[in-house]
Amino acid sequence: MRKLSKSRTLIATGIVALLAGCANNPYDGQQGGSNKTAIYGGLGALGGAAIGAATSSKKDRGKGALIGAAVAGAAGAGYGYYVDKQEAELRRSMQGTGIDIQRSGDNLTLIMPGNVTFATDSATISSNFYGTLNNLVQSFNQYDQNTIEIVGHTDSTGPYQHNMNLSQRRAQSVANYLSNQGVSRARMSVHGVGPDQPIADNNTAQGRQQNRRVEINLRPIPGAYQ
């Protein structure tokens, strides 16, 4: 009985926090009060908590309820709130990995430096990067209401066509790994743009290092949110 009571307390606390967050959702254009975001986000959170608890093991029932409440509550509150939760989770799990997370409106971009992800002139993922990618898999499967665009980039050193092919192969390697670990291929698109979209000066070693990267762009699934 004591464990059940503790679990219920955890669930209730999480739902109250979600309701408070919905009521102050910066994407809704209102602060406090019984606005639509709070109402629909709260109802979604309640339903999600029940589903999360029901589908989790007895040991993880409280945690499952909180995850269910976060995802379902976000669906009711709107995509902006959903991205708030996803961004916070990604920043936590990617801390210390070298991956930079940038946000523009409701769009998230993960920048994976080439020197961390691949060996020089290779499209084979470094084995010490598998753990980081596994954390991304977990996040992408938990937050599955966005598309995943994977774009490979190189610096301008060497033949242009070689760089185009290398950037495509690197992006494809990341996509293949994510897919093999359970991320839906239907959500993913893959592009290689070679040296065509630099973010730094290719005339310096530091700039070229910044330009060698793979970016993952997370965007809302068309029609999923109104």
41-84 tens-digit pLDDT: 544 555 555 555 554 555 555 555 555 655 555 555 688 999 99
Which of 77, 112, 129 is the last residue before a domain boundary? 77
- Which structure tokens are listed for 31? 């602060």
Say if residues 37 and 28 touch (Cβ distance below 8 Å): yes
Q: Are residues 179 and 212 in the same domain?
A: yes
Judge whether 162 lies within some domain: yes
Q: Are residues 61 and 144 in the same domain?
A: no
Judge whether 210 lies within some domain: yes
Q: Are residues 73 and 106 in the same domain?
A: no
CA distance 174 to 180: 10
What pLDDT, on a 0 to 100 scale, did the predictor assign at position 223? 74
With pLDDT > 70 as the criterion, what percentage of the chain qualifies? Answer: 65
Cα-trace Rg, the chain: 20
Sequence-distant (≥ 6) Cβ neighbours of residue 213 within 8 angstroms? 111, 112, 113, 114, 153, 199
Structural domains of the chain, count: 2
Q: How many residues does the chain have?
A: 226
> Which of 27-36, 76-85, 146-155 has the least mean pLDDT?
27-36
**At which residue do the structure tokens 């897919």 appear?**
179
Q: How many CB atoms lie within 10 A of CB 49?
A: 25
Q: Are residues 116 and 48 in the same domain?
A: no
What pLDDT, on a 0 to 100 scale, did the predictor assign at position 90? 97
Judge whether 72 lies within some domain: yes
Judge whether 85 lies within some domain: no
**At which residue do the structure tokens 């992408």 appear?**
140
Judge whether 15 lies within some domain: yes
pLDDT in tens, 137-150: 999 999 999 999 99
Judge whether 83 lies within some domain: no
CA distance 109 to 50: 32
Q: What is the mean pLDDT of residues 146-160?
A: 97
pLDDT band of residue 184 (cuts 50, 70, 90) is very high
pLDDT reading at 27 higher than 90? no
Q: Are residues 34 and 137 in the same domain?
A: no
CATH of residue 187's domain is: 3.30.1330.60
Q: Which domain holds residue 161?
A: 96-220
- Which structure tokens are listed for 151? 């774009």
Q: Are residues 111 and 174 in the same domain?
A: yes
What is the pTM assigned to this prediction? 0.69
CA distance 123 to 83: 30
Judge whether 88 lies within some domain: no
What pLDDT, on a 0 to 100 scale, did the predictor assign at position 202? 97
Q: Are residues 109 and 209 in the same domain?
A: yes
Sequence-distant (≥ 6) Cβ neighbours of residue 22 within 8 angstroms? 37, 38, 40, 41, 42, 45, 73, 76, 77, 81
Q: Are residues 73 and 100 in the same domain?
A: no
User: If DSSP codes are grouped into helix, strand and coil, which group holds residue 17?
Assistant: helix
pLDDT band of residue 222 (cuts 50, 70, 90) is confident
pLDDT band of residue 12 (cuts 50, 70, 90) is low
Alpha helix locations (H) across the chain?
A: 2-23, 36-54, 61-77, 79-93, 114-117, 130-142, 160-180, 205-211
